[in-house]
Amino acid sequence: MKKKILLYVSLILSVASFGQRIQFGIGAGVSSYSIQGAAAGNLSQVLNFSNGIVTTKAVTGFYTGGYANIPLINNISIEPGLYYSTKGYALSGKYAFKDIDILSVNAKVALQLSYVEIPLFLKAQFSGLQVFAGPQIAYLTKGNIKTSAGLAGFNLLNSNMDATSQFNRWDVAMVGGVGYQFTNRIRLTAAYERGLTKVDAGQNIKSYNQGFKIGAGISF
């Protein structure tokens, strides 16, 4: 994996050496992520068995970082970047005793994964409209599982567990999206990411990061 990263960075630097009028910028935004694959399939069986008591949902997070837009030919450019991003997955459950809500037990489990991401996009621009796609390598800095449960308005459980070691440190994904850059160099973007690397540490389970990002940036 280290060799792949060095090759990846070398490719960025070699292409950048031919670029002219490089624009640097910063960007940030919100994201919505979940984990898709075998784990989600197994969970569906639990959902069917529980008759809707347990539900799943994506986790809302954020991303922030910077990029360099390197023109190639005509309206084509490449855009390497460096970002900090949060991803994850969430489960919530509710069980009512004899259909009395005041005696309902509510439980939530949220997984938050924090990554440092290095995307490399090939971008086409038509006036202000931008279309981009490319690979992304990410390194997991921390994995945290937060569990909470309550009964009749009282907290029964509220814990945080470091689960970094249970997840694959490296994540490779493909990203694609669209954007619009205004004449003042402010831009809006929306992107979809599909992970290609299994997220568990042993890489035995076919489960992958998947999500959307919406944000804004400015070039200098």
* CA–CA dist 161, 42 (Å, integer): 23
Q: Please give the pLDDT value at position 52.
A: 46
Q: Please give the pLDDT value at position 38.
A: 63
Domain ranges of the chain: 19-202
Taking only the tens of pLDDT, the chain with its 220 residues reads: 656 555 655 655 555 555 458 899 999 999 999 888 765 555 444 444 444 445 567 889 999 999 999 999 889 999 999 999 999 888 766 555 445 444 455 677 788 999 999 999 999 999 899 999 999 999 999 998 887 765 555 555 567 889 899 889 999 999 999 999 999 999 999 999 999 998 888 887 788 999 999 999 999 8
Q: Please give the pLDDT value at position 1.
A: 61
Phi and psi at residue 184, in whole multiples of 5°?
Answer: -85, 10
Coil, strand or helix: which one is 86?
Answer: strand
At residue 74's C-alpha, the angle toward residues 68 and 79, to 5°, is: 20
What residues contact residue 50 under an 8 Å CB cut-off, 6+ apart? 93
Q: Please give the pLDDT value at position 55.
A: 59
* CA–CA dist 146, 165 (Å, integer): 16
C-beta of residue 115 within 8 angstroms of C-beta of residue 136: no
Q: Please give the pLDDT value at position 194.
A: 96
Q: Please give the pLDDT value at position 204.
A: 78
Is beta strand 23-37 parallel, antiparallel or unpaired with respect to 129-151? unpaired
Q: Please give the pLDDT value at position 71.
A: 93
Coil, strand or helix: which one is 46?
Answer: helix
Instruction: Provide the greatest CA pair distance for the chain.
Output: 70
Q: Please give the pLDDT value at position 57.
A: 78
Is beta strand 100-126 parallel, antiparallel or unpaired with respect to 76-97? antiparallel
Q: Please give the pLDDT value at position 134.
A: 97
